[in-house]
Structure 1
Amino acid sequence: MNYQNLLCTDRGPVRTLTINRPEKLNALNRATIAELHAAFDEARDDNSVRAIILAGAGEKAFVAGADIAELQSLSPMEALAFSRAGQSMMRTIELLGKPVIARIQGFALGGGLELAMCCHLRIGSEKARLGLPEVTLGLLPGFGGTQRVLRLAGRAAALELCLLGQPVNATRAEHLGLLNRVVAIDSLDKDVNELADQLAASAPQALAGILDAILVGGECPSAEGMEFESKTFALRFSTDDMREGTAAFLEKRKPDFKGT
């Protein structure tokens, strides 16, 4: 597809999707949300894509939030549709079945942090600033932010971030679990690419099973989650990749996973 607000590039089995609105600090409007939804649907269905990097164009921001100029004109019913569209797109990313890495070089605020939190791994530079400042606009997060920050950072931090609306620096964000790693800005691309390459070389169905067991099974009561894990584990014994992985281990060589 041809996108107006996204850049899509492939490097072997790694696809990079870049939100390309640097003049707006990559703010999320309805058109960009729709394009992201379509782009992730396309990546999910493309068997050649094994890992995805989600980035924002420019030096200042991953995504600085929703497009306030567009938000201001919404009626309550339009706002409900906007919220649901954003939540649907982000849930698609979360349940993609392929690992998605958020590359955060600068600001990830409001809808930008909500977008980052639905990704499976978040790598930030030391210049990253993360927050949910919607309260300063007389609003609250609407793309799932209250729920994901609660699960990632805990109730105390979720209340602080949402009630005060003040962003945190990269070190505190890592401490809270909002970032998996903090790296030097000069090595951000190198580190993100190395991580994506590692994921792309792994067994795709094993990765999908891990994501399902944690993101779906993890929402169940403990006993149901354990049963979900057992069935997901057992299903991988039907794959060629399981036989390749175990054979490679016994033969002391690197496995060559085909995704079958």
Structure 2
Amino acid sequence: MLQFDTLSLSAKDQALILTINQPKSMNALAREVVNDLEAFLDWFETTGFEYRGVVITGAGEKSFVAGANIVQMNTMDEASFIAYARQMHSVTERLEALQVPVIAAVNGFALGGGCELALACDFIYSSERASFGQPEVNLGLVPGFGGSVRLPQRVGKAMARELIFTGRRIKAEEALRIGLANRVVPADELIDAAVAAIAEIAAVSPTAVAIAKRAMVSMDGLNVHDALAKEADAFIAAYHTEDSVEGRAAFVEKRAAVFPGK
């Protein structure tokens, strides 16, 4: 398994746990962190598919990711600043495109870029002490790592506008209520809950999960007619996989399916 300066990797069952390991800076998204996230994705996209899912969390008890590294941002010239934003856009899009599910295990502050990183994951599990927000307006900024696109998809346009325009921070229970988080659990159970979700996913067809994820990402922003066409394409593609042949045969034969992953 690769070693990184700002990230740590560990495996539990069929889940790969990626920890942003910069607790002194509240795991802020410095350029070095973003570079390591890109390197992780390069590795996982070519060699990491022995795992059935990825769990992203932050080191320490206080913060998932506190946001962009504002101190570092203040030293950037315009070209560096633009490159930084585009690099994070690339990271979030690549997370969405991974063939396996990605779960954000939010253990503390998920603010600004941290909330946006969590939004790029397939869903969010939150500890009871976590908090979320897009506070960029307090700095005279706006979301720059996908928040103004992905937050409305999770919580609706009006709620997203309220959170972005006010910069208000919300606690875990409110994040659950508005649909930003899927579950809220005690902090000491957070990683186990995410790993258990990966284990549940690992019991079904990996090709079906990959096709479903790819199709759902491609449907975002489409009208119903065009989205249904994408769904039909995905349904046909899944039907022709070896996993589908095995799954349908197992159903007819009343036995457990053994999916080949093809």
**2:186 matches 1:184:** yes
1:138: how far off? 1.6
1:256: how far off? 2.4
Query: What is the correspondence of 1:100-139 to structure 2 with a 5 Å cutoff?
Result: 100-139=102-141
1:140: how far off? 1.1
Aligned counterpart, 2:9 = 8
Contact 1:14 1:200 in 2 (8 A): no
1:212: how far off? 1.7
**2:202 matches 1:206:** no
Aligned counterpart, 2:24 = 23
Aligned counterpart, 2:67 = 65
Aligned counterpart, 1:230 = 232
Contact 2:6 2:21 in 1 (8 A): yes
| Count of residue pairs brought into register by the alignment | 260
Identify which of 151, 160, 163 aligns with 1:161: 163
How far apart in 2 are the matches of 1:10 and 1:240?
28
Given residue 16 of structure 2, which amino acid in structure 1 is its aligned partner?
A: R
1:64: how far off? 0.7
How far apart in 2 are the matches of 1:232 and 1:189?
31
Identify which of 233, 257, 260 aligns with 1:258: 260
The TM-score normalised by the length of structure 2 is: 0.94
Aligned-partner SS, 1:174: helix
How far apart in 2 are the matches of 1:204 and 1:42?
19
Contact 1:64 1:107 in 2 (8 A): yes
Contact 2:28 2:67 in 1 (8 A): yes
Return 112-121 or 154-163, whichever deviates more. Answer: 154-163
Aligned-partner SS, 1:246: helix
Aligned-partner SS, 1:219: coil
Given residue 163 of structure 1, which amino acid in structure 2 is its aligned partner?
A: F
Contact 1:201 1:257 in 2 (8 A): no
- What is the CA RMSD across the aligned residues, in angstroms? 1.5
1:115: how far off? 0.1
Contact 1:43 1:49 in 2 (8 A): no
How far apart in 1 are the matches of 2:157 and 2:225?
24
Off by >6 Å, runs of 4+ in structure 1: none
1:83: how far off? 0.8
Structure 1 segments unaligned to the other structure (5+ residues): none
Aligned counterpart, 1:140 = 142
1:247: how far off? 2.4
Cα offsets for 1:31-58 (capped at 9, x unmatched): 1111112212322323312211111111
Given residue 189 of structure 1, which amino acid in structure 2 is its aligned partner?
A: I
Aligned-partner SS, 2:220: helix
Structure 2 segments unaligned to the other structure (5+ residues): none
Contact 2:14 2:198 in 1 (8 A): no
The TM-score normalised by the length of structure 1 is: 0.95
Cα offsets for 1:101-139 (capped at 9, x unmatched): 000111111100000000001000111100011111121
How far apart in 2 are the matches of 1:19 and 1:44?
19
Given residue 3 of structure 1, which amino acid in structure 2 is its aligned partner?
A: F
1:80: how far off? 1.4
**2:244 matches 1:242:** yes
Cα offsets for 1:172-226 (capped at 9, x unmatched): 1112221011112232222111101112232111111111221102332322221
Given residue 40 of structure 1, which amino acid in structure 2 is its aligned partner?
A: L
Aligned counterpart, 2:52 = 50
Given residue 222 of structure 2, which amino acid in structure 1 is its aligned partner?
A: C
